[in-house]
């Protein structure tokens, strides 16, 4: 296996395992307020948004301008990639039965139970996150490390929020933990797919980075933010998102 593909797969695997790591505090404390869960998800959304901008969109623009495109041409191609990624993940959501704790059921009818549909919903979030890690490794170790670190960081509060929500819905601690951990398994699959795509050639790298960014933007705006902006929690959730964005900015600057 190509070294870059292997690194992308391993990095996305570690990032996915952070979902289970983040869920561990449920064994120390069973009850988590809805406000706490909202803030955790909002902070995770901020990190995702920061990773999208600093580690995917900007490197995509840099890749295309380095290949000789003008800034306008590079922006047009990256913009097209963003749209493709968003449309792809939107189609996947429309075709796959899943359920959110606040937004309710989406997609076609299914005989799966509530927890099963919830697992699918989180898995749909995690696949593009893993793909972004794999694709980013094609842009170099710094970009790959930045995205992997950012995704791993946002998986910590997301894993806890997922497990805490399952507890509130009546699941046992063990079941809540294993479900949260299982949702992270989509990330190495996405990471492998992303790394394989990046290995096809440098000419596709900018488009791949942009498509991953578009998928992430769709997840943040279409799935995560609506889950956090409810019951007059918009203000606190917004500041948690900003804090997550700033944290990702420092991570990207630190990793270079």
The answer to whether residue 1 scores a pLDDT higher than 90 is: no
Q: Can you read off the two tokens belonging to residue 57?
A: 């969109």
| 27-33 CB contacts, 8 Å cutoff, 24+ apart | 27/173, 27/177, 30/167, 30/173, 31/167, 32/160, 32/164, 32/167, 32/168
Phi-psi category of 227—alpha, beta or left, where left has phi over 0 and alpha has psi -120 to 50? alpha
* Residue 47, in any domain of the structure: yes
Q: How confident is the model at residue 101 (pLDDT cuts 50, 70, 90)?
A: low
* Residue 171, in any domain of the structure: yes
> Domain range for residue 9?
3-23+33-255
The mean pLDDT value for 169-183 works out to 87
DSSP structure class, residue 213:
H
Report how many domains make up the chain.
Answer: 1
Q: What is the mean pLDDT of the chain?
A: 85
- Which among 72, 63, 1 has a CA at the least distance from the CA of 208? 63
* Residue 48, in any domain of the structure: yes
What is the pLDDT at residue 113? 66
* Residue 28, in any domain of the structure: no
Q: What is the pLDDT of residues 123-166, one digit of tens each?
A: 787 888 888 888 888 777 777 788 888 888 888 988 888 888 88
* Residue 40, in any domain of the structure: yes
- 85 within 8 A of 221, measured Cβ to Cβ: no
Q: What percent of the chain has pLDDT over 90?
A: 23
Most confident of 52-56, 82-86, 185-189: 82-86
Q: How confident is the model at residue 104 (pLDDT cuts 50, 70, 90)?
A: low
């Amino acid at each position: 296996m190509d070294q870059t593909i292997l690194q992308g797969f391993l990095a996305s695997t570690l990032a996915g395992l952070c979902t289970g790591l983040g869920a561990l505090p449920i064994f120390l404390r069973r009850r988590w307020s809805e406000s706490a869960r909202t803030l955790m998800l909002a902070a995770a959304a901020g990190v995702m948004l920061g990773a999208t901008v600093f580690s995917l969109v900007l490197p995509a623009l840099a890749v295309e301008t380095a290949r000789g495109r003008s800034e306008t041409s590079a922006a047009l191609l990256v913009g097209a990639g963003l749209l493709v990624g968003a449309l792809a993940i939107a189609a996947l959501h429309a075709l796959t039965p899943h359920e959110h704790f606040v937004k309710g059921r989406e997609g076609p009818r299914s005989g799966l139970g509530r927890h099963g549909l919830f697992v699918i919903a989180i898995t749909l979030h995690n696949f593009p996150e893993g793909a972004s890690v794999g694709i980013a490794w094609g842009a170099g170790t710094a970009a790959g490390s930045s995205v992997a670190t950012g995704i791993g960081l946002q998986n910590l509060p997301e894993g806890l929020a997922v497990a805490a929500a399952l507890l509130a819905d009546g699941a046992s601690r063990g079941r809540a933990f294993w479900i949260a951990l299982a949702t992270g398994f989509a990330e190495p699959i996405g990471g492998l797919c992303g790394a394989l795509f990046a290995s096809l050639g440098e000419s596709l790298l900018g488009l791949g980075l942009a498509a991953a960014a578009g998928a992430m933007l769709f997840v943040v705006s279409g799935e995560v933010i609506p889950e956090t902006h409810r019951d007059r929690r918009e203000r606190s959730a917004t500041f948690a998102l900003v804090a997550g964005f700033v944290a990702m900015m420092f991570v990207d600057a630190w990793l270079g």
